[in-house]
Structure 1
Amino acid sequence: MRDTSGTPRTPRRPRPLRRALLAVVGTLALAAGAAGAASPSASASVPPPPSGWTQVFADDFEGAAGSGVNTSHWQYATGKGYPGGPANWGTGEIETMTSNRDNVSLDGSGNLRITPRRDASGNWTSGRIETNRTDFQPPAGGKLRVESRIQVPNVTGAAAKGYWPAFWMLGAPFRGNYWNWPAVGELDIMENTQGMNTVFATMHCGTSPGGPCNETSGIGGSTTCSGMTCQAGFHTYRMEWDRSTSVEEIRFSLDGVNYHTVRENQVDATTWSNATDHGFFIILNVAMGGGFPDAFGGGPDAGTQPGHSMLVDYVQVLSSGGGTTPPPTGDRDAYSAIQAESYDAQSGVMTESTSDSGGGQNVGAVAHGDWLQFKGVTFGSNPARQFSARVASGAASGVSGLVEVRLDSRSNAPIGSFAVGSTGGWQSWRTIPANIGSVTGTHDVYLTFTSGQPADFVNVNWFTFSH
């Protein structure tokens, strides 16, 4: 996370362990009721939304046995880490993630099947899928519910050493950056390891190591599966993020029974804002080895049995209350200040508190390849010919980049740009103008960012246009 005092920020470091290294399993354990538990192999339909809730995403993984996932919903994360990101997914896990059907496929009975495999040379492969969407968050004053019905790999004891199945979410600014964890927030709805009849829920945030969220452990809790073990059958894992209360809460439950709650007032306001004032994307994966299994005995080793699948019956996202409205269309005035944090979509950035005049938030962690989208910017019939943006930079000497304006598509040529390097600090603000081609009518505006270096090079507070 950036130092907002105006001093140069600490250089990027490899992303540390994202998982909770909980030393005591039993202290937070609550006996979950059997409500919601189903037979070991039954596949259920996505449940209808309860009264007052609206379904915003769902996948029930129906399809022919051996087929791949619906790529309009999901993308495969492959290899040993994100391009340009830390090795071994930043967690120390040892498998190579693939899109091969042996690792990730539908089972033909309404389930997703993620299966770790080991080849004759002892190399592990597995699967990891992520939602294409990165906008899952509760509406202002409302709630978001994310749940899945899952059977973790049915393997226990020595044969389960190193298994690490998980259902979790990462803050949208992580996608395309991969170095801003844990500030951008992580919500682990279900983690399991070593074949134990215990599941964990954790929020990661703040700075690492230590910091307000006790990283790399995070703010975590655990419970046991009752009625049948976590491995023996399906259970329903849910995160409910509630913005309708005076103190925002994120609640985690097993089979309808809440067992862990994280509250906004457990950390400082800036930490909470950086971790939650944006959308999230959903991840399903089975890792092998890494920091979390290491905390419970390590693995995998020669006695670990490959081939045990995590089965996922469905994933569902619901929204409630808050007066959700569609993205703006034609109601942004090009000639008034457009706040950077009011974007409709983005890649690679985060929001943070600003000390600039007027306070509020700015967009930060901006580096080469990042972008912001602002829908429905109205220019009228009198052409706009200039663009100005309020920017700050604490970039190191020699690090600079371009702030570019594009219309209607990120692939269109820029209509104007300006270069920016260090302004003396990440909260040392300056208004920089640039000439643009004549623009009339209503357009979606994209701010795109280009640099010859991978380092973050600019913060943006607001921008506007003029004649």
Structure 2
Amino acid sequence: MEPSRTRRVLVTAAALLAAVPAAVFATTPTDPAQAAVPPTPPGWSLRWSDDFTGPAGTQPSAANWIFDLGHGYPGGPANWGTGEVQNYTDSTRNIALDGAGNLRITALRDGAGTWTSSRIETRRADFRPPAGGKVAIESRIRLPDVTGQAALGYWPAFWALGSPYRGNYWNWPGIGEFDIMENVNGLNSVWGVLHCGVNPGGPCDETSGIGNSRACPGASCQSAFHTYRFEWDESVSPQQFRWYVDGQRFHSVSQNQFDAGTWNNMTSHAGYFVLLNLAVGGAFPDALAGKTPTPATVPGHSMVVDYVAVWTTGTTPPTTTRPDNPGWDAYAEIQAEQATARSGGVLENASEGGQAIGKLKNGDSLRFADVRFGSATARQFLARAASGATGGVSGLVEVRLNSPTAPPAGSFAIAGTGGWQSWRTVPANISGITGTHDVYVTFTSGQPAAYVSLNWVKFAA
């Protein structure tokens, strides 16, 4: 659902691919919420999940999710590039657990006619198949239970964006987008779409993308839960992307439909992050119904999410420091630009060679998956850092283990170093670390301005 997309009706249900049974973890669509992720079948491994278990009225896990706020990413396209009218918030009126194992994202309209809703994305941005294997991204969702004129403008979605989009909001669609489930205007239809290449036109016919749609099996998309799943399969040649609803395949795209450059641009990076959102208005619903929402559109309906899960199967790749194959030696230089996931900062060239993550500020973070400390005890953290912050602007660079909200294992303060390319190696003492951990480098400041750039980090005994 990213920059400058307009939509058209992709196909009618009568012209869809034949429903093909798949070895997926489908559930009966009329089941109530399960409050749990389905069991993992033999041969697969559960890599990440959230079953949204927690007290009613609380936000989803901050360790798993990032809130997208307002009308666009800072420095990115207005209205999320799609013409949506709602303001995204982190208010529990718009997004909250319901206490029964569900996440509810609710679209609201105030007395002045202003719409609000919510959008979240996974902190992890490394979802991809192991070499020669498969990855499956799945969610069980009940769409807003509203149809007809009252539903005009509702646009729920479950989708994934290529990790290089973070911090560079103008490289769409080349980095890839998988729309696993989209629905508009309360229609009993699920759309699956691939976005790639260049905009407009290109191999994915942007801004429409390559897509297909079908009615939800059995009960309508709005009246029951359905399981929506996407698979990226590297175990076959040519490789394939496949879309399913309740275990029935309704869309597929093959590697041989694209030139090598287009395919590599969307498959050779670190992976994808997953998003859930309920938009109101915008290019897709407008394309099917004229300008939306309308005065007849009824607020207060929710997209209800039972779980999100990511599984992989196949060969597990060796642990290296390649950006498309995360895993790190704690005692070697870990390049900042190869972070498994990043929130904030900008990718830029470094004066001393290579690339760096520039202009990090309060609340930003970098995540490095599976950093291996081994049996030796690391007692020092070192970072190659620079700062062009003005006088009075400073902040902390912190190391946390396994969660961005865990207590810091160590930190150092930094202010202006003489410029954003004036690099220096800054050490910090840390509590002893052994074993293997996800390492988060977080940034905390009392001022909103950017205060540090990072080229690399590493640890020492």
Q: TM-score, normalising length from structure 1?
A: 0.72
Q: Secondary structure at the match of 2:214?
A: strand
Check if 1:288 corresponds to 2:275.
no
Q: What is the Cα deviation at residue 208 of structure 1?
A: 0.5
Give the one of 148, 157, 169 matched to 1:157.
148
Q: Secondary structure at the match of 1:295?
A: helix
Cα 1:420–1:259 change in 2 (3 A) is same
Q: Secondary structure at the match of 2:288?
A: coil
Write out aligned runs for 1:167-182 (5 A): 167-182=158-173
Cα deviation 1:325-365 (Å, max 9, x = unaligned): 4554549877xxx99987655567999xxxxxxxxxx9889
Give yes or no for contact 1:148–1:315 (8 Å, CA) kept in 2.
yes
Q: Secondary structure at the match of 2:144?
A: coil
Aligned to 1:68: 59
Q: Secondary structure at the match of 1:296?
A: helix
Aligned to 1:392: none
Check if 1:317 corresponds to 2:310.
yes
Cα deviation 1:433-465 (Å, max 9, x = unaligned): x99799xxx9x9x9xxxxxxx9xxxxx9x9xxx
Check if 1:303 corresponds to 2:296.
yes
Aligned to 1:184: 175
Q: What is the Cα deviation at residue 61 of structure 1?
A: 1.1
Give the one of 113, 116, 131 matched to 2:107.
116
Give yes or no for contact 1:92–1:291 (8 Å, CA) kept in 2.
yes
**How far apart in 1 are the matches of 2:345 and 2:164?**
5
Mark the runs of 5 or more structure 1 residues left unpaired by the alignment.
Answer: 1-14, 352-361, 378-386, 388-405, 422-433, 447-453, 455-459, 463-467
Give the one of 141, 144, 158 matched to 2:135.
144
Q: Which moved more, 1:92-101 or 1:29-38?
A: 29-38
The amino acid across from 1:65 in the alignment is A
Cα 1:366–1:343 change in 2 (3 A) is closer
Q: What is the Cα deviation at residue 234 of structure 1?
A: 0.5
Q: Secondary structure at the match of 2:266?
A: helix
Q: Number of paired residues?
A: 402
Check if 1:25 corresponds to 2:12.
yes
**How far apart in 2 are the matches of 1:363 and 1:24?**
45
Q: What is the Cα deviation at residue 319 of structure 1?
A: 1.1
How large is the Cα RMSD of the aligned pairs? 4.5
Q: What is the Cα deviation at residue 129 of structure 1?
A: 1.3
Aligned to 1:197: 188
Give the one of 270, 280, 293 matched to 1:278.
270
Cα 1:295–1:23 change in 2 (3 A) is farther
Give the one of 218, 229, 240 matched to 1:227.
218
Q: Which moved more, 1:36-45 or 1:363-372?
A: 363-372
Q: What is the Cα deviation at residue 112 of structure 1?
A: 0.8
Write out aligned runs for 1:204-223 (5 A): 204-223=195-214
Cα 1:257–1:330 change in 2 (3 A) is same
Give the one of 252, 261, 269 matched to 1:261.
252
Q: What is the Cα deviation at residue 65 of structure 1?
A: 2.0
**How far apart in 2 are the matches of 1:246 and 1:32?**
22
**How far apart in 2 are the matches of 1:28 and 1:220?**
12
Cα 1:272–1:315 change in 2 (3 A) is same
The amino acid across from 1:267 in the alignment is F
**How far apart in 2 are the matches of 1:18 and 1:265?**
25
**How far apart in 2 are the matches of 1:72 and 1:347?**
13
**How far apart in 2 are the matches of 1:407 and 1:285?**
31
Mark the runs of 5 or more structure 2 residues left unpaired by the alignment.
Answer: 320-325, 348-352, 374-383, 385-396, 401-409, 428-432, 434-438, 442-449, 457-461
Cα 1:213–1:366 change in 2 (3 A) is farther
Q: Secondary structure at the match of 2:289?
A: coil
Aligned to 2:118: 127
Q: What is the Cα deviation at residue 317 of structure 1?
A: 0.7
Cα 1:412–1:270 change in 2 (3 A) is farther
Q: TM-score, normalising length from structure 2?
A: 0.72
Cα 1:108–1:348 change in 2 (3 A) is closer
